[in-house]
Amino acid sequence: MKVLITGGAGYIGSHVVKLLGQLNSDIDILVVDNLSTGHKEAVLYGKLIKADLEYTGIIEKIIKDFKPDVVIHFAASIEVAESVQNPVKYYKNNTANTINLLEIIKKYKVNKFIFSSTAAVYGNPKEVPIKETASLSPINPYGQSKAFVEEVLRDLSKSDKDFKYVSLRYFNVAGADPEGKIGQSYKNATHLITRALKTAKGEYEKLYIFGTDYPTKDGTCIRDYIHVVDLAQAHLDALSYLLEGGESDIFNCGYGYGYSVKEVVDTVKKITRIDFPVEETDRRPGDPAVLVADNTKIKDVLDWKPNYDDLEFIVKTAWNWEQNRRF
């Protein structure tokens, strides 16, 4: 079987490549990544081609030559705050580039597609935990850029009965490979756990808590943090599902409970044993108060079984990576 993975040198993609590579040597893995935020060292299995999805001619040639059975599409921009400041970048990288990729996939009759979506498509949910049937009303360009693609995928699968996709709506992905070989590695990481760990390490003077007046128990935002290896496993489960003839579908990826920003900060201090400075400041534009997944569907339909649903373990693996990282 041939699997093409866009963005496979990035944080989540590289963990999927590792799980797939460990699983079975008969799987031919080709990673396509522009290495803008990914790292070639993160690709532990398969082959890597450095290419940008913007250049459709090159992408078309890669797909024509490789003839993948499945495409797993990670390549995207992922920061909410940046998307508010630079929406065009998000609509281009996340929406336009994905539509171009789908056009090529359709031309070469690649009929299985796994898409990295996000809980940000829900915006401020009316009910929590959030079910996949909740209405989509993103409140930032990042979420909107992914919601547009979900609509395209839905219409594409309706128009072409052979095309099947799974869209995985990620909640807050964190942690690192428990073996310490790969982990998150961005120059200016903005995500809470990474930022807190880097502050513990002394890379930043202090950690800012964005908003303490949200309608939550301690006033800070609540998120459903999922370990990156459990999320990677969800992709393998989605792959098996599609290979067994599963219908197109959408699944939340989260544990079904959340932690506040303050609880995460306390956990990071506990694990690192470093009492780094924290300052409470204004809300960050585009942040919903609470995002927690209802994960009943992924457990029932994909038989997904999380192994690492433990915030301390998430922080421990991320801390191990931060201290010993190779890239």
Q: How far apart are CA 94 and CA 100, in angstroms?
A: 10
Pairing of strands 172-174, 249-253: unpaired
Q: How far apart are CA 154 and CA 241, in angstroms?
A: 18
Which residue's Cβ has the minimum distance to ligand UDP? 221
Report the interface residues with ligand UDP, using CB under 6 A: 80, 172, 190-192, 195, 207-210, 221, 223, 261, 284, 287
Sequence-separated (6 or more) residues with CB below 8 Å from residue 121: 136, 138, 143, 146, 147, 150, 169
The residue to which tokens 């290979």 are assigned: 243
Query: Active-site residues: which are they?
Result: 142
Q: How far is the CB of 150 from ligand UDP (least distance, A)?
A: 17
Q: How far is the CB of 250 from ligand UDP (least distance, A)?
A: 18
Pull the structure tokens for residue 225: 């943090």
The one-character DSSP state at 120 is G
- Which of residues 98 and 140 has its CB atom nearest to ligand UDP in the complex? 140
Provide the sign of the torsion angle of the four alpha carbons 319, 324, 14, 45, taken in this order. negative
- Which of residues 208 and 257 has its CB atom nearest to ligand UDP in the complex? 208
Q: How far is the CB of 193 from ligand UDP (least distance, A)?
A: 7
- Which of residues 117 and 157 has its CB atom nearest to ligand UDP in the complex? 117
Sequence-separated (6 or more) residues with CB below 8 Å from residue 248: 153, 154, 157, 163, 164, 165, 166
Q: How far is the CB of 290 from ligand UDP (least distance, A)?
A: 10
- Which of residues 224 and 249 has its CB atom nearest to ligand UDP in the complex? 224
Q: How far is the CB of 18 from ligand UDP (least distance, A)?
A: 23
- Which of residues 73 and 191 has its CB atom nearest to ligand UDP in the complex? 191
Q: How far is the CB of 7 from ligand UDP (least distance, A)?
A: 17
- Which of residues 69 and 266 has its CB atom nearest to ligand UDP in the complex? 266
Q: Please name which of 2, 60, 33, 15 lies closest in space to residue 228, comparing C-alpha atoms.
A: 15
Q: Please name which of 1, 127, 107, 6 lies closest in space to residue 64, comparing C-alpha atoms.
A: 107
Pull the structure tokens for residue 116: 């990295």
Q: Which residues pair with 33 in a beta bridge?
A: 50
- Give the chain's length: 327
Q: How far is the CB of 34 from ligand UDP (least distance, A)?
A: 22
What single string gives the DSSP state of each residue in 307-322?
Answer: S---HHHHHHHHHHHH
CB atoms within 10 A of CB 277: 10
What single string gives the DSSP state of each residue in 182-210?
Answer: -----TT--SHHHHHHHHHHTSSS-EEEE
- Which of residues 195 and 325 has its CB atom nearest to ligand UDP in the complex? 195
